Chains A and B, each alone.
Chain A
Amino acid sequence: MAAQHTRSPAGRLSGVSGWSGRAMVAVVLAVFVVFFAVPIVWLLLATTKSARGLSTGNPFTPGGAGDLSANAEQLFGFQDGAVVTWMSHSAMYALGALVVTLVASIPAGYALALTPFRARRLLLVLTLIVMLIPNTALVLPIFLELNAVGLIGSPLSVILPMSFFPFGVYLTYLYFSTSMPRDLLAAARIDGCREIQVFTRIALPLATPIVALVAFFSFVQNWNNFFLPFVMLPSSDGYPMQVGLTSLLASTPAFNPSSAGSQSVQLPALALATVVSVLPVLVVFLVSQRFLVAGMTAGGTKE
């Protein structure tokens, strides 16, 4: 940003001094807005077009409702409604893992922050270390392990590994160790609350925001997970939507010429599949934008 070295009279684009500096910044920002936004806008429009319209027409004019419903028909007719099955699997895996994650990580974060016990430090350090291992790094080792005990192919082989969510524990730990009024907990104990009651009656209601935050992160991450279910589920009967997309891709003649046939999928239907596959996450993102952003920032800071 080559602004001149004159002092800015507190402009609206604060600080970027001078007219030409501001113009440059505006251009750079515009380029990036186009880069980030155009693919999404185009994708939404593509679902309303016919295969012909997609390749010949102006990319940014919408098609028609007729084409949209034709695309939907083609997509949901694919392999007798496989898409619906995959979506329901996605929901089952993501929500199942979400529940286990919450049951496991909220009490754990609470105990790590507020109760002294011997293995506490070890667990905390391990949490920090595993939190930094990329998700995918453990997928093949987990496959090898689950293969040894014969669990491959069962929904549990996806749900349980997803449920291990050290980042959620870390967030909860941060929250409880920084913003939980300890006097309140002590008072409850003096009043005769058992430890479990202190947790369920006092700590948990106060921690609603962090519970929601962990739930959002866990849901989004699980919904989008590809490698884990791809490896754990050998047959398409158990696929979630993300993995199901590969079956659709394999049946799209534009990307796989050998697939032309009665079960083939045209590009606009594939675009629709992409939209459908992210719809729940997109909704979650839009509804809880501020909230997620605050959490992401908190997850990085130490406080």
Chain B
Amino acid sequence: MTVVDETAVPVAVATARPAGRRANVMGYGFVAVYALLMLVFGLLPVLYAGYLGFTDDTGRFAGLANFTRVAGDFRFWPAVSHVALYLLVWLVALVVLVTALAIVVHAIRIRWLGGALRLVFYLPGALAGASSVLLWLFVLDPTASPVRPLLRLLGFDSFVQVVVPGNLPVVFAVIAFWTGAGGWIVIMYGALNNIGAEVIEAARVDGASVVQIAWRIQLPMLRRWISYMCVMSLAAGTQLFVEPQLLAQASNAVVPNDYSLNQLAYQYAFQQNDFNGAAAISLLLLVVALALSAVFVTRGGLFEKG
């Protein structure tokens, strides 16, 4: 993480020099509460999960036994593949649609229209968590849905038909996209605003079409943001929980309650009282999330200057 160390800490400090030692003490005073929270809710849990993951229920060192047991569970690999499939569908949709929509909305010169569109895209973000899932349960239930004819057209006559496990990666991707895409569109829009008008103007003078400008200038300049979006979404997506959890409840077990990895970890902790196994799954998820973050920090270049 030395890369962050060098690049992410650009401005500060150099110019401010309140009297040495006193300032040092003050500095610690100011960060004390935050540092404590970081210790208790950022670092200790990870260490404790690490401890549990590598010991058995009597506290004895167990090597990789918990990890092999978990990986050998018949529910484990299906859960991995469910999450992976969902991530694939979701990420492709996110990258393609968010980028395209941001560029299109950015191209609109009618101010109120652009603003209104961004608000409409952004507003569903207010419905996150269980609320958005509940809303989509309605939309996907042919007996109540506002898009009943569309569902019928696709051959769905009942809710249970809609949420058969084969459809779930798409269903979850739609829910996640509906809730989260607007925020990313807004961020991309802001990034597009940062591209100098003279660059675009120069391209236009040289005879570039809108499509060429989007493809050759805007897209490359958005790259950093797209990779940021991908890795954040990828890391968050590995933690899939509330969507399958509520769907399992609403579908009378058509959707299994160990569909995702986090659900499986939850089952280990709360149904089987196997905290060591739960810790092992949590650690695996955490390592994946951290690894993805590391990729983002070192390759995504977001914290680089300029």
What is A's interface to B at a CB cutoff of 8 Å? 1-8, 12-17, 21, 25, 28-29, 32-33, 35-40, 42-43, 46, 54-55, 59-60, 100, 103-105, 107-108, 110-121, 123-130, 132-138, 140-145, 147-148, 160-161, 163-164, 166, 169, 173, 176-178, 182, 185-186, 189, 195-196, 198-199, 220, 224-227, 230-231, 242-243, 245-246, 249-250, 254-257, 267, 270-271, 273-274, 277-278, 281-282, 284-286, 289, 293, 296-297, 300-302
Contact status B46-A138, CB under 8 Å? yes
With known contacts A121-B9, A134-B239, A160–B41 Cβ distance under 8 A: yes
Residues of B with C-beta under 8 A to A114: 12-13, 16
Q: Which of B61-69, B82-90, B140-148, B165-173 contacts A (4 or more CB under 8 A)?
A: B140-148
A142, B16: Cα distance in complex, Å: 37
Contact status B4-A125, CB under 8 Å? yes
Residues of B with C-beta under 8 A to A35: 178
Q: Which range contains the number of B residues in contact with the other chain?
A: 35 or more
Residues of A with C-beta under 8 A to B228: 300
With known contacts A36-B123, A270-B134, A271-B138, A297–B186 Cβ distance under 8 A: yes
With known contacts A104-B34, A125-B4, A224–B28 Cβ distance under 8 A: no
A4, B210: Cα distance in complex, Å: 9
Contact status B52-A144, CB under 8 Å? yes
Residue from B97, B137, B212, B297 in contact with A132 in the complex, judged by beta carbons closer than 8 Å:
B297
A152, B207: Cα distance in complex, Å: 65
Residues of B with C-beta under 8 A to A100: 33, 37
Contact status A231-B124, CB under 8 Å? no
The yes or no answer to B236 lying at the interface (CB within 8 A) is: yes
Contact status B143-A115, CB under 8 Å? no
The yes or no answer to B139 lying at the interface (CB within 8 A) is: yes
With known contacts A17-B209, A59-B145, A293-B122, A245–B134 Cβ distance under 8 A: yes
A236, B8: Cα distance in complex, Å: 44
Contact status B238-A134, CB under 8 Å? yes
A19, B101: Cα distance in complex, Å: 19
Contact status A7-B38, CB under 8 Å? no
With known contacts A103-B33, A254-B143, A274-B135, A138–B45 Cβ distance under 8 A: yes
Chain B interface mostly: helix
A213, B131: Cα distance in complex, Å: 23
Contact status A117-B27, CB under 8 Å? yes
A145, B44: Cα distance in complex, Å: 8
A166, B31: Cα distance in complex, Å: 12
Instruction: Write the nearest CB–CB distance from B252 to chain A, whole angstroms.
Output: 7
- B115-134 CB contacts (< 8 Å) to partner A: 117-131, 134
With known contacts A14-B108, A136-B262, A195-B18, A249–B139 Cβ distance under 8 A: no
Contact status B134-A14, CB under 8 Å? no
Residues of B with C-beta under 8 A to A145: 40, 44-45, 48-49
* 18 A-B pairs (CB sep. < 8 Å): A3-B211, A5-B212, A13-B108, A39-B178, A107-B33, A108-B35, A130-B38, A132-B232, A144-B279, A166-B42, A195-B22, A224-B128, A227-B239, A227-B241, A227-B242, A289-B122, A300-B187, A301-B191
Contact status A46-B144, CB under 8 Å? yes
Contact status B16-A116, CB under 8 Å? yes
Residues of A with C-beta under 8 A to B136: 39
A267, B137: Cα distance in complex, Å: 11
Residue from B146, B241, B275 in contact with A38 in the complex, judged by beta carbons closer than 8 Å:
B146
Residue of B nearest to A196 (CB): B26
With known contacts A54-B144, A255-B159, A281-B126, A178–B27 Cβ distance under 8 A: no
> Most chain-B Cβ atoms within 10 A of its Cβ — which of A46, A141, A296?
A141
